[in-house]
Structure 1
C-alpha cells in the first residue's frame, strides 16, 4: 500500500507537464472550475461556498489577511498580467515587434483598424471595472467612480463605432474577396489558388 503513491517516472511526469502546458488544457481547467463554482454557488450547498470564500488567510502584520475570494480574484489578475507581460516582452525582444518595419498588417487593413479594436478592448476593461464595482462596491463615494467608468465606456464605444463604421467599406471588400466562389463548389477561390 505504501508504494502506491511513489513518485512517477520521468517520462510520465514529463507527459503530464506537457499536457498541462497546452493552452487548451489551461482554458478547459479554468472553464471547468468556473462552471463548478457557478453550480456550487447556486445549489442547496451555497452557504458552504460562501463560507469557503469568507475564510481569511495571509499575514495580518502586512495587512494581507484577506478572504479567499479576494486572494483568488487578485491572484488570477496578477497571473494574467504577468503572462501578458511575458508575451509582450517576447514580442518586443525576439518577435515581430522588435523592428517596427516587420510589424505589418494584412492587406487592406490599416493601423486605424487596430486603434478601433484597441478602443473596444478598453471598453471591455472599463466595463469589467464597472461590473466589479457595482457587484462589490459600497458607499456614496463610489457613485462618482461608477459614473466616471460608465461615461468613459460610453465615450470609448462611440469612438470605436465611428472608427469601425468609417472602415466598414474596407471590411466588406475584404470579406467579398475572401468568400468569393466563382465555380460554386463551396470552397472559396482564395483556398484554391496554386
Structure 2
C-alpha cells in the first residue's frame, strides 16, 4: 500500500549518511579556519609598508616556458591547487548522488533547486547594478554566485551553533552542487579561446585514468602522471584547468562492484581518494589560494570608500547578501509550494533564512571568477575583491545573528539526535521511523531492512 505520509523538507537522513557528513564537515571546519588565517595574513601584508614584497611574491613566475607553464605563483594557486579542490568536490558530488541519501530524486530536488536559485538571483542583482557600464564590468556577473563551504563552516564553528544534521547535510550538498555549477559556468562563459586539439588529446589520459580507477588500481605512480597530463592538456586548450579536476573525479567509482563484494564489502575508491586528498585540499590548496588572492591593497580610508561604492563591489555585495538569501529561501519555498512538501516539524523558515545567509559566504570560487573576469591587477579586479570581502563579512554577521537566535532550539534537536544509543551504536532517533517513512525517503526500503542499515547501489558506478 503506498505511503500517505507528507514529504518533509530537511528531515533526518540515514545515520550512516549523517555520520559521514559530520566527519566531512569537521575536516572542512579546520580547513576554513586555515583559510581565514591565510586571507587575514594576505590582507594585512598587502596593506602594510611591505605590500610590494607581497605583490612580488604573488607575481613570481615559475615553470617551463616550453610547455606554456611559466606561470606566476598566484596563477599556479588558481589553476593548479584549485584543481585539487574541484577534484574533491567532484568526488563528493558523485558520492552524494550515487550512494548517498540524495540518490532519491525527491531528496535531491531541494539542494539542486536551492543551488540554482542561489546562483541565478545574485547574478541578476549584479547585472542590475552594472547595467549601462561599457567597461566590461558585466563580465563579473557570476562572481556572487558561488558559496564557500569551508568559510561557511568556519563561521559555524565560531558562533558554536548546534545546527541540526539535516541542515548541515543540506548546506554541504548545496555548496557542492554550487561548485559544480560554478565550474560549468567557468568552462562555458570564461573560456576566451578554445584549442580543440589539446582538449581532444586530454581525453586520452583521462580515459586511461578512468580505466585504472575502475579496476581499483590506486598506484600513485600511475595515476598522478595521467592526472597531470590531463590537467596540462586542459590548460593548453584554453578551458580553465580546474575543469580537469571535476572530470577526473567523475571517473572514480563510488561503490564496489558485485564481484568485489558489493556495497557492503567496504568503501569505494571515491571515498578512499576523498579521505586521502581532502586534507590536502582543505589544509593546503584552498588556504594557499586564499593567501595569493585575498591580498588587496585598499589605499587607506578614501581608497576603501571608493572600492566599496563602485557598482561592481555593490553588485557583488548585494548578490552575496540579498541575492543568496532570496534565491535559496525562494527556491526552497517553491519546492515546498509545488510539491506540497512541508518543513520538518522541528524547524521553521527562519532556519532556512539563516542557512541562506550562510550561502552568501563566497570566497574561493568568487575570487577565481574575479580573476578570470577582470584580469589580475586591474582596478575593477581590486574593487571586486573588496566587494567579495564586504559581502562575505555582512553575510556571516547576519547569519550569526539569525542562527544564534535559534540556537536554543538547535541544542534541543542536537540532544535528541545524540540521545538514547542502544547496543548497535546508532542513536534511536534514527530508528524511530515507520516502514512507510523509510519507503517515502529511501526507495527500496519497502521490505523493511534491519534498522540503521543503509541501502546502496548494487553495481559499481
TM-score (norm 1): 0.52
Which residue in the other structure is 1:118 paired with?
116
Q: CA deviation at 1:97?
A: 3.1
Q: 1:99 to 1:149 in 2, by over 3 A?
A: same
SS in 2 for 1:43: coil
User: Where do 1:121-132 residues align within 5 Å?
Assistant: 121-122=119-120
Residue from 39, 47, 71 that aligns with 1:42 = 47
> After superposition, where does 1:95-174 map in structure 2 within 5 Å?
95-100=100-105, 103-104=106-107, 111=109, 114-122=112-120, 143=136, 146-147=137-138, 149-150=140-141, 164=330, 167=333, 174=343
Quote the Cα distance in structure 2 between the aligned partners of 1:39 and 1:69.
Answer: 17
Residues 1:72 and 2:94 are matched in the alignment: no
1:30 pairs with one of 29, 32, 35: 35
What is the distance in 2 between the residues matched to 1:118 and 1:88? 15
Is 1:55–2:60 an aligned residue pair? Answer: yes
Alpha-carbon distance change, 150 to 92 in structure 1, aligned in 2, over 3 angstroms: closer
Name the SS for the 2:48 alignment partner.
coil
Give the Cα–Cα distance (whole angstroms) in 2 for the partners of residues 167 and 99 of structure 1. 20
Matches of 1:165 and 1:115, distance apart in 2 = 6
Q: Is the 8 A contact 1:113 1:167 kept in 2?
A: no
Give structure 1 regions of 4+ aligned residues with deviation exceeding 6 angstroms.
none
Contact 1:57 1:67 (8 Å CA) reproduced: yes
TM-score (norm 2): 0.25
Assess, with a 3 A threshold, how the Cα gap between structure 1 residues 99 and 49 changes in structure 2: closer, same or farther: same
Q: Cα distance 1:41–1:148, how it changes in 2: closer, same or farther (>3 A)?
A: closer
The answer to whether the Cα contact below 8 Å between 1:56 and 1:68 also exists between their aligned partners in 2 is: yes
- Contact in 1 for aligned 2:117/2:331 (Cα 8 Å): no
Q: How far did residue 175 of structure 1 move?
A: 9.6
3-state SS of 1:64 partner: coil
Q: Computing the radius of gyration over CA atoms, which structure comes out larger, 1 or 2?
A: 1
In structure 1, runs of 5+ residues without a counterpart are 1-20, 106-110, 131-139, 180-185
Q: Which runs of 5+ in 2 are unaligned?
A: 1-25, 128-133, 146-314, 349-406, 417-428, 430-461
* Higher RCO (C-alpha 8 Å, min separation 6): 2
1:86 aligns with 2:106: no
CA distance in 1, matches of 2:98, 2:54: 44
How many residue pairs end up in the alignment? Answer: 142
Q: Distance in 2 between matches of 1:92 and 1:112?
A: 13
Contact 1:113–1:164 (Cα < 8 Å) also in 2: no
